[in-house]
Structures are given as structure tokens and as C-alpha cells.
Amino acid sequence: MYPDIILRLPEWLAGELQSPAQRFSTLEERMAFVIRLAERNIQEGTGGPFGAAVFTQETGELIAPGVNIVVASHCSLAHAEAVAIMLAQQICGTFDLSADFLPPLELVTSAQPCIQCYGNIWWSGLQRLIVGASKADVEALTGFQEGPVPENWVETLEHRPPLPPIRVIQNVLREEACAVLRAYAENGGLVYNPDVM
Ligand SMILES: [Zn+2]
């Protein structure tokens, strides 16, 4: 028998959810929430300095949070964005977050998606992406590599017929997002790129 594939979320994450239908009306409030997840993930020692969450685009209702749990999960796929997407899909009961019975959903992430998360977002059904720190910020401040994300990644997401566009908004609370990355690196946080540990 092969083992089932189970990704266990950090226990503290449940404490960040004050109610099932918590609302964050502005993009800055949504970004502040995911930056706090990234910060808490460091403090609790549960993973890397990245947080993300799926929200309803119009009303800012929190659907699913995510944090980086790569090391603890023995899983290089378990980036914050991927965890939030997987959890949202389980909660919504569909692989397609653009399903007819769902409102438009967005992903808010403390840092620009890496090559893997870029692909995950592409296939997720999410309709908007909100980004804090940039790829250059992540790589310069921490040493984490983001992989060969296309130079024109924004326009590629925003124009991809026959699939619907994924709108991108960048630099939301970028300084605050960078501060978490900087603090992680300054405190000797593990940078777990393969082969360069
Ligand atoms: Zn990623």
C-alpha cells in the first residue's frame, strides 16, 4: 500500500479564523491578513515566510488560508498559494474555483508566485491575483528561488484565451511583505531550495 497523501495544516491556523465568514473589505486588509499568516508561520516554526488566502473578490469573505508547509509536510509542492488553493477546492467541493455556483474568487499572496504556483493558479479557476512582494524582492531578501517565471507573466495571466483572464494587482503592502522576508533572513531562517541548503 502506498500512503495517502495528507497535508496537515498548522494547528495555530484555526485560531486566525475568527468566524467562518470573516470579511476583509479592502485589498490592504486582505494582504495584511496573509502577511500576518507569514509572520506567524515563522514565529511558530511551522514553515517558510509565506502566506496566502482565497477570498471572494467582491465581498472579501475569507474562503481558505494557506501557509508554506514544505519542510514539515515533506512536500516541495506545499507552498502557501498551493495550500490555500487546495483547501479552497476541498471546501468548495470542486477542482474548479470558477464553477457556476461560486462567486468570483481571488488569491491574495504575500509574495509573487513561483513557477510552480504560477502553474497552479493557471489551472485553479481563480479570477484575480493580488501580490505583495515581487520575485526580485523574494530572491534578493531571502535567497529563495522563484524559478523561471515568464518575464511577461502578468500579461500572460491576463490574456489567455480560450480560458478567462486572471487579473493581477501587484505591490499591495509591498513594504510590509518585504519586512517579513527580511526578518526571516536576518534571523537565519531556513532557505530550503533543493541542492543549496
Ligand atoms: Zn510557489
Q: How far is the CA of 53 from the centre of ligand 1 (A)?
A: 13
pTM of the shown model: 0.95
Around ion ligand 1, which residues have CB less than 5 A away? 79, 114, 116-117
With CA atoms as reference, report the closest residue to 79 among 138, 24, 137, 23.
138
Q: Is the dihedral of CA 180, 80, 190, 193 positive or negative?
A: negative
Q: How far is the CA of 134 from the centre of ligand 1 (A)?
A: 12
Q: If the chain, 197 residues long, is cut into consecutive pieces of 10 residues, what is the mean pLDDT of each piece? A: 95 81 92 97 95 97 96 96 98 98 98 98 98 96 94 97 97 98 89 66
Reported as a single tens digit per residue, the pLDDT across 142-181 is: 999 999 999 999 999 999 999 999 999 999 999 999 999 9
SS3 20: coil
Task: Catalogue all structural domains in the chain, each as residue range(s) with its CATH number.
Answer: 21-186 (3.40.140.10)
With beta carbons less than 8 A apart as the criterion, state whether 166 and 126 touch.
yes
With CA atoms as reference, report the closest residue to 47 among 88, 86, 8.
8
Q: How far is the CA of 64 from the centre of ligand 1 (A)?
A: 17
Q: How far is the CA of 23 from the centre of ligand 1 (A)?
A: 25
